[in-house]
Structure 1
Amino acid sequence: MERNVRLSPQDKEQMLSYFEAEVMQVLNWLAAFSPDEEGGITRLLYTDGWLETQQALAVKMASYGLSTSFDNVGNLFGKLQGEDMDAPSIITGSHIDTVVQGGMYDGAYGIAAGLLALDYLHKHYGKPKRTLELVSLCEEEGSRFPMAYWGSGSIVGKRNFEQIVHLQDSYEVFFADAMQRCGFGEGTARDSRRHDIGAFIEVHIEQGAVLEKEGIAIGVVDTIAGQRRLKFEVVGESNHAGTTPMHMRRDALEGVSMMIQTLRQETIRIGSPLVATVGRLQVQPNVPNVVPGKVIFTVDARHADEAALDCFCRWVLGAFASIAADRQLELHGTEWFREEPVPMNERLKQQLDAVCGELSISSKRMISGAGHDAQMFEHICPTAMLFVPSRRGISHSPEEYTEPSELAVGVLVLTELLYRLGYEGEEL
């Protein structure tokens, strides 16, 4: 059953009221799994709590009329079969895992939104033309093992079993052993690699304060920013804090403090969307009465433009080398992590813009400074991502929060986009 017209204002308000109540029920239900004794939620890949949550979600999806299946790494799919058996699927969803003591919205909101959207569409319009699917991805955060995007990466062919052979968690449990303990691994279910995905749409909390500050309901992600992570080792000379004159010191920490200040000043001068962060600092010998002889620290730099990001990182290396030379310090720098910027599909972004415009929902194009599963899916299919506001921009914390009314708007926009793609067959 198809609509003859776009949503009326009355339909919009009824849907928002319904989604506002339902989305909190699903999120509170999910939050009851894997609570952390210290606060928040800790649901790490291939733990008992993780397995219990995925299995419960499979039952929940089935109760909403979706046919469910796991792949061999533990990604869970709920399918609403379309009339055209050969048409590629339209998939929405997010990840089930959390950081340690994380919040109840990151990842979980995208799953709840997809569940409610597919349920609403099925109840009101029956079978779609194109198959619609909800995915609860097994992992995104990289919180247990040194491997992020395991779920989505396995689907798109960027992750494989060879890459995890030697990986262990902090308790020296091997990745493969943890996976097999939960009943997954090579040959346990259908292969994770998919070649039949027509589009992927991810709904997520912003994890920043832009939408809240500007009073905007929806962020249409234009590009997921690229990332560079650099590690620096600065070596000076440890010496007595009381007997070494200031002009004779080779103080590694003083040099690093100047590097950090210079980094901040240049980042502010260049401006948005560039951000740069010194997140880890190790000082040796790290005692009160000794001039620091060595400092190891990291720089995380992000930008939506690859050339601009590379240019900035070259500047960082040169500026830090100059500061070190002025102080007779040794400097060693290496890049240990690299992710290129990933633009979202322009056609889908335009469709999201149109949905928000026709429903009188405020929206803006924006950059995602955080990484998401959507950047993996863009390798194989048209991909879109939309944000809803986050209170004070807090995320990866028990304090993570978004108003239920704001969550409902995100579900509404997703539902409308899925209707147009799945039932009206709009071009991808």
Structure 2
Amino acid sequence: MDWFKTIQENVDLLSGIGSDPTGGMTRLLYSDSWLEAQNAVKNKLEEIGMETHFDEIGNLFGRMEGSKYPDETIMSGSHIDTVINGGNLDGQFGVIAAYVAMAYLKETYGQPLRSMEVISMAEEEGSRFPTVFWGSKNFVNEAKIEDVESISDFEGIKFVDAMRQAGFDFKKGEQKRREDIKAFVELHIEQGNVLENQGLQIGVVNSIAGQRRYTVVLKGQANHAGTTPMGYRRDAVYAFSRICAESIEKARAIGDPLVLTFGKVEPKPNTVNVVPGEVLFTIDCRHTDSDVLIDFTQKLEQRINEIANEMDIEATIDLWMDEAPVPMDANIVAILEEAAKKAHMKYRVMHSGAGHDSQIIAPHYPTAMIFVPSIGGISHNPAEATKLEDLVEGVKMMASALYELAYK
């Protein structure tokens, strides 16, 4: 196999489906371009002799039966949807990597002992509808119809109508858990700049960071900017600034892998000559250790209330996401490390600060991830890119791991 040619051709093929006129990719769940991309993947899988099928909601599967242990399945893949005006590697390259690695293994070694399966998951990003991980949650039977049956996209199109228009529907009745899956490996671009900055080719992911997200509203009193003395003000922006600066300094003191972000800030009335009486802001905090994450954020909540009380300001704190860290399977991580060492790759073991389908799958089946470098750490952006040689090394790494899992 010509690795460089094969990978570039497959990236180009899928990148032409849903390319955005303004640059980048827009391929949203149940859109025409999404369906076209899934069918393009289906055709590629069938070209190498895989049996393919869609499940009820649109996850695509391609299967190569094992010769000795057909009821043991080694799986790889990722999601096919994109963010709006995103890059051409996030998600889809994990699908490409799975297909190319399995095609190489079949071409080189023939039928595997254990079955190998590619999954191209319907949705991960939440870019069209206010739901995430729809593909992987359905795969592991965690999806809830009530979470999506009344939601709509930004054009008012209902989730249910879009799904049925694309030819899919909700799963019917109680779903039996698949017992055949013995390993799931996902390849993904890093979406950060650690590997690039350290001159490394491969990241072996041993955990996915937990996340806690908040929306906080501070209510003071809007008043005249010229006639209200400083000592009499109930300034919501000043309260926010104290909370933000103090919390970030504490996070910096603790250091990696803790990260803290105040990403959205909306002051009211947001005009030049009025003391702001209200601020809405968001908090995103992540760490790989659940105890550290909970301890830090609980102390942050306490400090928000203390500062608000000191300043005679009302604070409302809404913790709306609380995702625990997800460890990867130690055995598969060890297999990935050994493959990297044998190939003399420059690698490191690392955590993922971003969420991935693997975090949904890992509690159910042995799971691990491979990262390849992102140029400049850029992702969810038309400028998202990875050197072709790094993409090749990632797929070779995937092939080595799948060989160990499926052929031995």
TM-score by length of 2: 0.97
Q: Is the 8 A contact 1:231 1:334 kept in 2?
A: yes
Q: Deviations over 1:133-190 (max 9, x none)?
A: 11110100111111111101111111133432222222222212111110011369x9
Give 2:106's aligned residue. Answer: 122
**What is the SS of the residue equivalent to 2:71?**
coil
Deviates more, 1:247-256 or 1:403-412: 247-256
1:54 aligned residue (38, 43, 46): 38
Distance (Å, rounded) in 2 between the aligned partners of 1:192 and 1:101: 37
Give 1:215's aligned residue. Answer: 199
Q: Is the 8 A contact 1:231 1:335 kept in 2?
A: yes
Q: Deviations over 1:348-368 (max 9, x none)?
A: 001111111111111111110
Give 1:228's aligned residue. Answer: 212
**What is the SS of the residue equivalent to 2:21?**
coil
> Which residues in structure 2 correspond to 1:338-357 (within 5 Å)?
338-357=322-341
Give 2:251's aligned residue. Answer: 267
Give 2:296's aligned residue. Answer: 312
Q: Which runs of 4+ in 1 moved over 4 A?
A: 190-193
Q: Is the 8 A contact 1:78 1:135 kept in 2?
A: yes
Aligned residues: 408
Q: Deviations over 1:24-78 (max 9, x none)?
A: 2111111101111222111110111111111121112212322211101101111
Distance (Å, rounded) in 1 between the aligned partners of 2:205 and 2:251: 22
Distance (Å, rounded) in 2 between the aligned partners of 1:58 and 1:192: 24
**What is the SS of the residue equivalent to 1:169?**
coil
Distance (Å, rounded) in 2 between the aligned partners of 1:336 and 1:163: 15
1:152 aligned residue (136, 140, 145): 136
Instruction: Kindly indicate whether residue 83 of structure 2 is the aligned counterpart of residue 133 of structure 1.
Output: no
Q: Is the 8 A contact 1:207 1:393 kept in 2?
A: yes
> Which residues in structure 2 correspond to 1:227-376 (within 5 Å)?
227-376=211-360
Instruction: Kindly indicate whether residue 53 of structure 2 is the aligned counterpart of residue 32 of structure 1.
Output: no
Q: Deviations over 1:104-159 (max 9, x none)?
A: 01011111111110111111111110000111101001111111111011111111
Say what the alpha-carbon RMSD is for the aligned residues: 1.7
1:195 Cα offset (Å): 3.3
Give 2:156's aligned residue. Answer: 172
**What is the SS of the residue equivalent to 1:87?**
strand
Letter in 1 for 2:103: D
Instruction: Kindly indicate whether residue 405 of structure 2 is the aligned counterpart of residue 421 of structure 1.
Output: yes
Distance (Å, rounded) in 2 between the aligned partners of 1:187 and 1:289: 56
**Cα distance change of structure 1 residues 139 and 66 upon mapping to structure 2, 3 Å threshold:** same
> Which residues in structure 2 correspond to 1:63-82 (within 5 Å)?
63-82=47-66
**What is the SS of the residue equivalent to 1:134?**
strand
Contiguous gaps of at least 5 residues in structure 2: none
1:390 aligned residue (339, 354, 374): 374
> Which residues in structure 2 correspond to 1:89-104 (within 5 Å)?
89-104=73-88
Letter in 2 for 1:378: A
1:20 Cα offset (Å): 2.3
Q: Is the 8 A contact 1:36 1:101 kept in 2?
A: yes
**What is the SS of the residue equivalent to 1:250?**
coil
Q: Is the 8 A contact 1:156 1:379 kept in 2?
A: no
**What is the SS of the residue equivalent to 2:364?**
coil
1:276 Cα offset (Å): 0.7
**Identity of matched residues, %:** 43
**What is the SS of the residue equivalent to 1:143?**
coil
**What is the SS of the residue equivalent to 1:72?**
coil
Q: Is the 8 A contact 2:29 2:128 kept in 1?
A: yes
Distance (Å, rounded) in 2 between the aligned partners of 1:182 and 1:191: 22
**Cα distance change of structure 1 residues 191 and 20 upon mapping to structure 2, 3 Å threshold:** farther
**Cα distance change of structure 1 residues 113 and 97 upon mapping to structure 2, 3 Å threshold:** same
1:235 Cα offset (Å): 0.6
Q: Deviations over 1:383-403 (max 9, x none)?
A: 010101111111000010100
**Cα distance change of structure 1 residues 187 and 276 upon mapping to structure 2, 3 Å threshold:** closer
